[in-house]
Amino acid sequence: MATVTSFPDHLRERFRTLLARLVALPSVAAEGRALGETAQAVAELLRELGLDAEIHQTAGAPVVFAERRVAGAPTVLFYNHYDVQPADPLELWSSDPFELSERDGKLYGRGTGDDKGELVSRLVALEWLRERHGGELPIGVVMLIEGEEEVGSPTMEAYVEANAERLAADACFWEAGIVDATDRPQLVCGLKGVVAIDLEVRTAAYDQHSGLGPVVPNAAWRMAAAVASLRDTDGRVLIDGFYDRVRAATPTEHAVIESTGAAARDESVDLGAEIGVERFHAGASGAEFQRRLQLEPVVNVNGIHSGYGGAGSKTVLPASASAKLDIRLVPNQDPDEIVRLLRAHLDRHGFADVALTHRERPGLPARVDPAHPWLRHAAAALEEAFGVPAVITVSSGGSGPLHPFSERLGLPVAMVGVNYAGGRIHSPDEHIRWRDVERGTLALVRTMERFAGLDAPASTSL
């Protein structure tokens, strides 16, 4: 039967209205801002959808839980989050980050892509599904929306363990999905683990006149040298033992990587043009670009802070310096062991004075089987909605609390959504495109219909 391919005008307006309500709430997890208020707003939206919504208190931010089971029908669990990244630097935004704005077919604001726009697409998809099938949801729904994803989801593993029975489902939609730099929808089957690290060093009691540079150690140089010791010029990590436990890719994973890398359009070319990078590490392209991106762990520097950065000059020797790192892990790597190896590396290379603080609870890596029926339904739905075959991706370069959902709950997980490669997630002018909202929301609807054995309505109007 014919699929409804046009995004209904009333749902388009509904999407814009709901997203504006959520973007206006500055729910920055790192700053603890507006988390309770946003949880209440999300719970109210779920109740408007006809779900039984509850707010569960945790040791951190509240979790919003909602469900509506349907006898004899499969149940889909939706995992999303309502917290966002800080908006800084504010001066680089073209409009207020906490006020939804629309320009040239794009919706701008903090959280439009990560993850409030994705959450709203799920709500609208469920409304659309209900309208397509006689005014009632034809499947069971469980929704879990947390408020600490952007700080590593420190309470999520314990929450899933404590609520495993209530979270029982047949399949899961993860928080987001993306259209790659070649404008093809990706179906992501895994996430990397992550460890967040602070480094600090002090070389004097206070900043000194730079005339003492020939004899007084400079904390900025010290930190720069410590950070530079962690990777070579091609991006390979130089910490002894870092790669020892990396799990070898399965034959299926290798086949997926090779297929993606051999595609007629090499994503690395389009991505480089989109983000302004002329050459990737080691000149990687094609299958090698995909292998590195999806299968390799990495140490990243998020920022280095020291000394004077204001207007004009200030001739000082910084007495202190700090750096923030994140380490992205792949299956079989243990976060605690990696931190120990980092500490040993710094000591061995003469940086015992560089203090190391392990921030936040680490996220464990996880992958799901690309051949699972739920993912096959999602791939078919994405091709319907976008008009081109989905690109199967073994693992995102990003991280999230997938592990307890795939391992403890045993759920097949599909990442289908409304983001695209140029959406500036975590950066100023974060945005989503209407065309991805329309197609990504339809893909959600069609995945659920396919999974439940439901035909799409024959009519193209509602």
pLDDT at 265: 66
Q: In terms of C-beta density within 10 A (0-12 exposed, 13-18 middle, 19 or more buried), how is residue 410 classed?
A: exposed
Q: Give 460's pLDDT tier (boundaries 50, 70, 90).
A: very low
pLDDT score, position 181: 81
**Sheet arrangement for strand 52-56:** 52-56, 63-68, 140-146, 75-81, 171-173, 413-414
Q: In 10 A of CB 12, how many CB atoms?
A: 16
Q: Cα Rg for the chain, rounded, in angstroms?
A: 23
- Are 268 and 284 a contacting pair, CB within 8 Å? yes
Compute the distance between CA of residue 120 and CA of residue 41 in angstroms, rounded to an integer.
Answer: 12
Distance CA 238, CA 230 (A): 5
Instruction: Please give the share of the chain, as a percent, with pLDDT higher than 70.
Output: 96
| CATH number for the segment(s) 9-190+365-451 | 3.40.630.10
Measure CA 343 to chain center. Answer: 27
pLDDT at 323 over 70: yes
What dotted CATH number matches 193-232+298-363? 3.30.70.360
Enumerate the domain spans of the chain: 9-190+365-451, 193-232+298-363, 247-295
Query: In sequence order, what are the residues at sequence separation of 6 or more whose Cβ sits closer than 8 angstroms to the Cβ of residue 315?
Result: 209, 210, 211
**Distances from the Cα of 286 to the Cα of 191, 269, 278, 439, angstroms:** 21, 9, 15, 27
Please write the tens of the pLDDT for every residue from 238-265: 999 999 999 998 888 888 888 876 665 6
What average pLDDT does range 185-209 have in this prediction?
95
CB 298 within 8 A of CB 237: yes
Q: Confirm if 195 and 335 have CB atoms less than 8 A apart.
A: yes
Q: How far apart are CA 175 and CA 159, in angstroms?
A: 17
Q: Under a CB-based contact definition with an 8 Å cutoff, are residues 440 and 417 in contact?
A: yes
Show Cβ contacts of residue 267 under 8 Å, excluding neighbours closer than 6 positions: 180, 181, 182, 260, 289, 290, 391
Q: What residues form DSSP beta bridges with 54?
A: 65
Average pLDDT, the chain: 93
